[in-house]
Amino acid sequence: MAEQQIKGYQTGTFVVGNRLLDPEQRSIQARTERSNTLTSGHRACQGCGEALGARYTLDAAMRATDGKVVACNATGCLEVFSTPYPESSWQLPWIHSLFGNAPAVAAGVAAALKAKGREDIRVVGQAGDGGTVDIGFACLSGMFERNDDVLFVCYDNEGYMNTGVQRSGATPPAARTANTKPVGQEPGNVFGQGKNVPMIAMAHEIPYVATATVAEPRDLERKVERAMEIRGARYIHVFVPCPLGWGAASKDTIRLARLVKETGIFPVFEAEEGEVTGVSKIRRRVAVTEYLKLQRRYAHLFKPEVNTEVIARLQAGADRNIRRFDLLADDEGAEFPGEATDQAGESESGPGTPPIPEADGQTAGMLRDTHGNPR
């Protein structure tokens, strides 16, 4: 169930700062007392999903712990764009060691704090998909296995972006990267490879595993808060679009994050000790093509001609996730409720936005008067 219980998209923005919500329900980003843990001045690209994800995550962690967090960061975009020597945009104690050891460094920090009687200070380890899924994998599994008191966050933009967009174990099938180019028999990244780290985390039966996207900040924040209520190894996998690496418009970052969920490609869920405890249902299901066509890394699936076979395989993958995680709300059928139109850029609501249900009450009336119907 989605965190935000608002009905519809009254304000025209469905991200942060919904002033119609109860203050407590608002995103931490909407509050003036937010930590700004990753403060402005960093060198991230325009539309960087990871900068967004890191900001949401750490501000939530700081709020949940009364400002007592130590962050251990792997090498990667986040580390590079946030600490251009001699400047740093971090407003919390932060250490970058190596590419593959963030989970182990975090475990060490947690052990030190425990030995020093400072378990009130919490540890967050963070890395991109490279530092989590591939080179950091052994350390990650070790940290899980020992149940070290660390929240590890993976910002997954599905490739080694900082070094020029190479394929990682998180790169989805058919995607173009610098070393999985759309040439030869099987264009793009091959099918049948890759790791599902959230499920691997669940297999370790650690206290808490969750996935989230930057399209739903309140959901991500709540998951971080939930994680901070728990001691032991915890893992959050955040889907963060990379406009540069994916060949997407920088203004589409949030849209892409929403679409990846609404297609079923990226299941959003929570699990505790190896069992799924909650699933964020798809609000209005969308075909994978709506997601793919916004990214040049999939352009070869549409030009010079539409590669129906590969698209069908990708759709089948999404269908499988929907089945596996039971991602459809009960009233959603297996059919798509009509082809979503390519209205990117036209209306802020974007494709797949349901019409506002007839609601009574003062607020709804006010809305109709001032905004009319958004379609």
Partner 1 sequence: MLEQLEGSQAVARAVGMCRPQVIAAYPISPQTHIVEALSDMVLTGDIDPCEYLMVESEFAAMSACIGACAAGARTYTATASQGLLFMAEALYNASGLGLPIVMTLANRAIGAPINIWNDHSDSMSQRDSGWIQLFAETNQEAVDLHIQAYCLAEELSLPVMVCMDGFILTHAFEQVDLPTQEQVDSFLPPFEPRQMLDPAEPMTIGAMVGPEAFTEVKYLMHAKQLQALDAIPEITADFTGIFGRESGGLVRGYRLEDAETVVVALGSVLGTIEDVIDELREQGVKIGALSIKCFRPWPIDEVREALEGAERVVVIEKAFAVGAGGIVGQNVRLALSGCESTVYDIVAGLGGRPITRKSLGTLFEDVLEGRIEPTGLHFLDLKKDVVEREISRMEHGKKPGPHAENILRDIGTVASDSH
- Say how far apart CA 305 and CA 109 lie, in whole Å: 53
Closest CA to 255 of 7, 14, 45: 14
Comparing CB distances to partner 1, the nearer of 90 and 246 is: 90
Three-state DSSP class for residue 72: strand
Comparing CB distances to partner 1, the nearer of 235 and 325 is: 235
Q: List residues bridging with 360 in a β-sheet.
A: none
- Say how far apart CA 54 and CA 154 lie, in whole Å: 10
Comparing CB distances to partner 1, the nearer of 1 and 115 is: 115
For strand 269-272 and strand 234-239, is the pairing parallel, antiparallel, or unpaired?
A: unpaired
Residues 151, 121: contact at Cβ < 8 Å?
no
Comparing CB distances to partner 1, the nearer of 150 and 236 is: 150
Residues 269, 280: contact at Cβ < 8 Å?
yes
Comparing CB distances to partner 1, the nearer of 86 and 192 is: 86
Comparing CB distances to partner 1, the nearer of 146 and 283 is: 146
Q: Name the minimum Å distance from CB 125 to partner 1.
A: 9
Residues 146, 159: contact at Cβ < 8 Å?
no
Q: Name the minimum Å distance from CB 233 to partner 1.
A: 13
Long-range contacts of 5-8 (CB under 8 A, 24+ apart): 7/356, 7/357, 7/359, 8/354, 8/356, 8/357, 8/359
Q: Name the minimum Å distance from CB 288 to partner 1.
A: 37
Q: Point out which residues bind partner 1 (CB under 8 A).
A: 67-70, 72-73, 79-80, 83-86, 88, 90-98, 100-101, 104-117, 121, 138-139, 141-142, 145-146, 148
Q: Name the minimum Å distance from CB 77 to partner 1.
A: 12
Q: Name the minimum Å distance from CB 112 to partner 1.
A: 3
Q: Name the minimum Å distance from CB 15 to partner 1.
A: 28
Q: Name, in order, each residue with C-beta under 8 angstroms of 293's C-beta and a sequence gap of 6 or more.
A: 302, 342
Between the alpha carbon of residue 40 and those of residues 52, 89, 91, 244, 335, the distances in Å are 11, 7, 11, 20, 44
Comparing CB distances to partner 1, the nearer of 117 and 184 is: 117
Length of the chain: 375
Q: Name the minimum Å distance from CB 89 to partner 1.
A: 9
